[in-house]
Chains A and B, each alone.
Chain A
């Protein structure tokens, strides 16, 4: 029996230097639940350090929190990684940290990078330059995500800043994305015109929320049996009637 799960798979927390400091685990969980979301993914830039806090904050709230990350490639393309298990996100984080331009000397000049727990208590400040690019190519990031069992989604392909089509002109054939993400800036009809060359990919839309009021502004419905990554992968591949819808 397939059910509809409403998902916003691209949410930043106060760990991302460009996100609002009010994007704390409990505030995100509260707003996601109030907005009728069933699944969210925490996708900070090049770090997974606020996922544990958010997962704990969501316990008992009927909200599934996926362990995600928005990785920046050497070509400055943004790629979403989504995992069920925080351990896999942390493995990706280890690799990403080794390939970030500067090592542990960030002083918060471009925005604070706050690590918090489930009670929104400050645990520390991340010292990596999370806003920077890794030295990993887009292709190798997609392959690493897949080898860790995750889903790999091209972020906001309609955006000039950090969107793959803007940076690379077109989506190369060797990139095996599980889906392409359309941002709230572009409606479905417009996207279908702009990106008709990429019909062979599954498309999703999410909020890329940096502020509380943006959570769930765009969402994608997954028609699946349960809120797991395996089921969501099934929906992206249209197996057994599973499917995604957004507008």
Chain B
């Protein structure tokens, strides 16, 4: 599944590097502790968080994540978006909570897996 598919189905709003929407999403991770994401988030995942410090860009870039979803309708500061653009990190926002966002993505990713297997 592409990031673009997630964005379309969940009505996510891409606020940085929308070219990255063509990336594949291999899984997801939910955490607001950046040290935890550095330690445990798998490459290619979409990261769901309410943490909006600029360090999220460095962490996503370092871990080769598919993208970041900022939940709860939180707005990002200009500096974060500038750095995300420079480091080619796709950030999307949603008014939904982390719980709702994660639930929907989990379902979509697993449906997708199922259909691939049956083909």
Q: A residues bordering B, Cβ < 8 Å?
A: 75, 137-138, 160, 165-170, 172, 174
Contacts and interface: CB of A to CB of B under 8 A. Distances in A.
14 contacts: A75-B51, A75-B53, A137-B53, A138-B53, A160-B33, A165-B35, A166-B33, A166-B35, A167-B51, A167-B53, A169-B35, A170-B34, A170-B58, A172-B54
A109 B53 CA distance: 30
B53 A170 contact: no
B109 interface: no
Contacts of A166: 33-36
Contacts of B112: none
B8 to A, nearest CB: 30
A137 B51 CA distance: 11
Given A169-B34, A172-B53, 6 more contacts: A137-B53, A167-B32, A168-B34, A168-B35, A169-B35, A169-B55
Interface secondary structure of B, over-half rule? helix
Nearest to A166: B35
B81 interface: no
B104 to A, nearest CB: 26
Nearest to B35: A166
A170 B58 CA distance: 10
Q: Which 6 A-B pairs have the closest CB atoms?
A: A169-B34, A168-B55, A166-B35, A75-B53, A169-B38, A168-B34
Contacts of B35: 160, 165-169
B118 to A, nearest CB: 40
Interface string B35-66: 11110000000000001011100110000000
A167 B54 contact: no
A138 to B, nearest CB: 7
Most chain-B Cβ atoms within 10 A of its Cβ — which of A137, A138, A166, A167? A167
Most chain-A Cβ atoms within 10 A of its Cβ — which of B35, B36, B54? B35
B5 to A, nearest CB: 29
B115 to A, nearest CB: 36
A169 B59 contact: yes
Contacts of A172: 53-55
A163 to B, nearest CB: 9
Nearest to B36: A166
Most chain-B Cβ atoms within 10 A of its Cβ — which of A166, A169, A170, A174? A169
A169 B31 CA distance: 12
Contacts of B77: 137
Most chain-A Cβ atoms within 10 A of its Cβ — which of B33, B37, B53, B54? B53
Contacts of A160: 33, 35
Most chain-B Cβ atoms within 10 A of its Cβ — which of A75, A165, A168, A170? A168
Contacts of A75: 51, 53
Interface in B68-97: 77
A167 B53 CA distance: 10
Contacts of B36: 166
A160 B54 CA distance: 19
